[in-house]
Homo-oligomer: A and B are copies of this chain.
Amino acid sequence: MTKLEQLKEKLEISKKFEHAANVLYFDYETLCPTDAREDEGEVLGFLSNEVFKILTSDEVKQLIIDLHNDIDSIEDPLDKVLINRSYEAYEKTKNMTPEFQMEMTVTHNKAYMKWLEAKEKSDFSIYKDALADNLKIDKKAIELRDKILPNFYDNYLNDTEKGVLTADLDPFFDELKVGLLELIQKIKNSKHVIRRDFLSRNVPIHKQEEFSRYLLELNGYDFKRGALTTTEHPFTMPVAQNDARVTTHYYEDMFLSNIFSIIHEGGHAIFMQNERKEDFEHYINDEVTNGMHESVSRFYENVIGRSKEYIHLIYPKFKEIFAEEFPDVSEQELYEGVNIVEPSLIRTEADEVTYGLHVLIRYEMEKLICNGLIAMEDVPAKWNALYKEYLGIDVPSDKEGVLQDVHWAHNFGYFPSYQIGNCYNAMYVLRMRKEFDLDKAIETGDFATINNWMRENVFKKANELMPKEWIKDITGEALTPKPFLDYLNKKYSKIYQF
Residues of B close to A239: CB separation below 8 A: 36
Whether A240 is near chain B, meaning CB under 8 Å from some CB there, is yes
With A23-B23, A40-B19 given, is the CB distance from A224 to B32 under 8 Å? no
Q: Are B31 and A227 in contact (CB under 8 A)?
A: yes
With A20-B47, A46-B16 given, is the CB distance from A31 to B240 under 8 Å? no
**Which of A70-78, A136-144, A241-249 is near enough to bind chain B?**
A241-249
Q: Are A243 and B39 in contact (CB under 8 A)?
A: yes
Residues of B close to A23: CB separation below 8 A: 23-24, 27, 40, 43
Interface residues of A in 188-241 (CB under 8 A from B): 204-206, 222-227, 229, 239-241
Q: Mark A30-53, 1 if CB is under 8 A from B, else 0.
A: 111111100110110011000000
A20 to B47, CA, bound (A): 8
Residues of B close to A240: CB separation below 8 A: 36, 39-40
Q: Are B227 and A33 in contact (CB under 8 A)?
A: yes
Q: Are A43 and B31 in contact (CB under 8 A)?
A: no
Interface residues of A in 376-405 (CB under 8 A from B): none
Q: Mark A303-329, 1 if CB is under 8 A from B, else 0.
A: 000000000000000000000000000
A40 to B27, CA, bound (A): 14
Residues of B close to A227: CB separation below 8 A: 31-33
Residues of B close to A226: CB separation below 8 A: 33
Q: Are A33 and B206 in contact (CB under 8 A)?
A: no
Interface residues of A in 1-42 (CB under 8 A from B): 16, 19-20, 23-24, 26-27, 30-36, 39-40, 42
Residue total for A at the interface (Cβ-Cβ under 8 A): 36
Interface residues of A in 177-191 (CB under 8 A from B): none
A382 to B33, CA, bound (A): 47
Q: Are A32 and B206 in contact (CB under 8 A)?
A: no
Q: Are B206 and A36 in contact (CB under 8 A)?
A: no
Q: Are A33 and B242 in contact (CB under 8 A)?
A: yes
For chain A, what secondary structure do more than half of its interface residues adopt (helix, strand, loop), or is it mixed?
A: helix
Residues of B close to A19: CB separation below 8 A: 39-40, 43
A39 to B466, CA, bound (A): 29
With A19-B43, A27-B27, A43-B20 given, is the CB distance from A242 to B206 under 8 Å? no
Residues of B close to A225: CB separation below 8 A: 33-36
Q: Mark A283-306, 1 if CB is under 8 A from B, else 0.
A: 000000000000000000000000
How far is the CB of A27 from the nearest CB of chain B, in Å? 5
A161 to B240, CA, bound (A): 40
How far is the CB of A236 from the nearest CB of chain B, in Å? 14
Interface centre among A31, A32, A229, A242 (most CB of B within 10 A): A31
How far is the CB of A237 from the nearest CB of chain B, in Å? 11
Residues of B close to A242: CB separation below 8 A: 33, 35-36, 39
How far is the CB of A22 from the nearest CB of chain B, in Å? 9
A299 to B24, CA, bound (A): 33
Residues of B close to A27: CB separation below 8 A: 23, 26-27
Q: Mark A475-494, 1 if CB is under 8 A from B, else 0.
A: 00000000000000000000
What are the 7 A-B residue pairs with the smallest beta carbon separation, nearest first? A36-B243, A36-B242, A206-B206, A35-B242, A34-B224, A35-B224, A19-B43
In the complex, 19 of the A-B residue pairs with CB atoms within 8 angstroms, ordered by the A residue number, are A19-B40, A19-B43, A20-B46, A23-B24, A23-B40, A24-B24, A27-B27, A31-B245, A32-B243, A33-B224, A33-B225, A33-B243, A33-B245, A35-B225, A36-B242, A39-B241, A39-B242, A204-B206, A205-B206
Q: A26-B27, A33-B223, A206-B206 are known; give 7 further A-B pairs, CB within 8 A.
A: A19-B43, A20-B24, A24-B24, A33-B245, A36-B242, A36-B243, A205-B206
